[in-house]
Structure 1
Amino acid sequence: MASSEFTIKDLRHILHEAAGESDGAGVEAGTMDVDFVQLGYDSVALLETGNWIERRFGILLDEETLFDSVTPRALIEAVNAQLTVNGNL
């Protein structure tokens, strides 16, 4: 179980691991509000990303939450909200 906040750096690393993209390609401060689809990530990549997040941070992300989080900012906020609910933050 993680005890720290989920950050853009974490997301970039997990996208690299889950989707095979170099350093979470396209995810940076300037693209926090750009849809994952526009950044080149499909639904399979997002499902795998969600699985990696769940394992690494000890939380559960239902598919609705995952697919409603269409931008990096939205996903980071959803993960941090779940970490707060679980008492990990």
Structure 2
Amino acid sequence: MIKRKKQKLVIVNTRIFSNDLNNTIKKIKKWIKKGINVKIIIKQRGREIEKKDILENFVIKVKELIKVFAKVERKQSKTPGLNLLLVSCL
């Protein structure tokens, strides 16, 4: 029998409040401790898509919060307004 690696998916908007972001990071931390990989999809809507600096700042913020307990890989999405981060155990 082949074991599949477990993976969770988290979808976040760049306009998320800091409290909600902290709760999401706590959930990700629990999953990483259990050995589950996490995909984070960062969404932008409407006029936000044109403002790439907002997305860059948000990605940097998320990476800084997660890098303490996990390894973060960034994959650029071909679709504008979406960005993908893969989080795995250190």
* TM-score past 0.5 threshold: no
Task: Report which structure shows greater RCO (CA 8 Å, sep ≥6).
Answer: 1
Tell me which protein shows more helix as a share of its residues: 1
Tell me which protein shows more strand as a share of its residues: 2
